[in-house]
Amino acid sequence: MTEPAPDLPFSRDEYAARVAKTRRAMAARGVEVLVAVDPSNMAWLTGYDGWSFYTHQAVIVGPDGDPVWWGRGMDAAGAKRTVFMADDDIVGYEDHFVMSTERHPMQDLARLLAEKGWAGAAIGVEMENYYYTAAAHATLVAELPNAKFKDATALVNWQRAVKSERELDYMRCAARIVEGMHARIREKAEPGLRKNELVAEIYQAGLVGPDGIGGDYPAIVPMLPSGADASAAHLTWDERPLKSGEATFFEIAGAYRRYHCPLCRTLFLGKPPDSILEAEKAVLEGMDAGLEAARAGNTCEQVAVAFFDVLARYGMHKDSRTGYPIGLSYPPDWGERTYSLRRGDTTVLEPNMTLHFMTAIWRDDWGLELTESIRITDGAPECLADVPRQLFVKD
């Protein structure tokens, strides 16, 4: 019985164009063979989608032909169900390599590269990546002494910066999802409701989705610290109840077919103090200034400075970046890890780049997050989600 073809999220022509674009970038860096271990890059290049990134795996892009998926043997079945390549380009290693103190999966990868005739090639590896360990690199170098290893960190990430129309469609679906998540928060949040119960509501809204758009799991869990805890940017939740007299920011994202639309809003239960209202005014004015600058041909720095200058007029200062690129992602981050909205980043914005304009302010005893995910155009940017841009207040 013939197995049905994989349900690819993109056409084979689009995958071919991505591989060709990646090869041009490889040539520019003097890379003959690329070993991409970042699951976002693996998915972008081939369609692979599985929760297998806790073991060693990679997509190998050689000088010609289709890429090769390499990973744990039991996950080869998942590759056959999700990648565009033929079965001959799916290679699984034996399970005795997994979590072993006697051998390392990179020994098997080295064997495969040698079989392909690439033992002496210029091999690009993603040195600064969550999924490429020190032991992985040391093993690969030891097993391939004639290879010339090159740092190919973010090589594929940069090729992902400008989105295709299908990618934008998926991100707009994610935007519809995050709209529903924030609507659920405003509906359910009240004094006495335990944080974990509210998170359950957020997940339910995000996974069921609106109008038949089924949600995917986001690369980052919901973050919703309250009161003084909201002075910290990345706390998640506990079982304590929401309280009157506190602000809670909600840093969440809708996800659809691994494409993300983050959006942050802040809710105050009770009467907000003047300090938070003044911060809201500054952030919203700064957001408007930044959005005016966020157009094709301008730089990341110009957008950041437009926002920072407004904060300065209000006597406020933000010492972290104020935005980053978004798109297809896997845990632990929904950012693409290339350019940043900050002083000194002269990356020129191009049409159909997508980013999270992260206009958040954290103070000693509170935090305020009001953000937008945007698409760059030749004119005013498209705000992907439609959620009122304000501090929400609820008694």
Domain extent listing, the chain: 12-159, 165-394
Whose tokens are 């290679």? That residue is 91
What pLDDT is attached to residue 206?
Answer: 98
Query: Model's pTM, two decimal places?
Result: 0.96
Q: Which helix (H) or strand (E) holds 184?
A: helix 165-188
54 — alpha (psi -120 to 50), left (phi > 0) or beta? alpha
Mapped onto helix, strand or coil, the DSSP state of residue 375 is strand
Whether the ω angle into residue 325 lies within 30 degrees of 0, i.e. cis, is no
CATH class of the domain comprising 165-394: alpha beta
* pLDDT score recorded for residue 2: 59
Residues of the chain with pLDDT below 50 are none
295 close to 207: Cβ distance less than 8 angstroms: no
Two tokens, residue 385: 């989600």
Distance CA 56, CA 271 (A): 51
Q: Which fold has domain 12-159?
A: Creatine Amidinohydrolase; Chain A, domain 1 (3.40.350)
Q: Which residues of 95-117 are buried (b: 16+ CB within 10 A; e: fewer)?
A: eebeeeeeebbbebbbeebeeee
Residue 101 sits at the vertex; the CA angle it makes with 100 and 102, to the nearest 5 degrees, is 90
Per-residue pLDDT reduced to its tens digit, 253-264: 999 999 999 999
Task: Show Cβ contacts of residue 274 under 8 Å, excluding neighbours closer than 6 positions.
Answer: none
Alpha carbon 361 to its chain's center: 21
Six-digit token string for 133: 């360990």
Q: Does residue 67 have a cis bond before it (omega within 30 degrees)?
A: no
Rounded to whole angstroms, the Cα distance separating 307 from 372 reads 13
Contact 360, 371 (CB under 8 A): yes
Distance CA 132, CA 345 (A): 26
- Among 90, 86, 144, CA closest to 117: 144
Q: Give the residues across from 312 on adjacent strands.
A: none
E-strand ranges in 62-116 read: 68-72, 90-93
Rg of the chain's alpha carbons, rounded to an integer?
23
What is the DSSP pairing of strand 148-151 with strand 372-375?
A: unpaired
> What is the spatial distance between Cα 252 and Cα 184, in angstroms, rounded to a whole number?
12
Distance, in Å, from the CA atom of 356 to the CA atom of 87, rounded to the nearest integer, reads: 37
Show the tokens assigned to 14. Answer: 């689009």
Tokens found for residue 195: 């944080």
- What is the pLDDT, as a whole number, of residue 274? 96
Same fold, 12-159 and 165-394: no
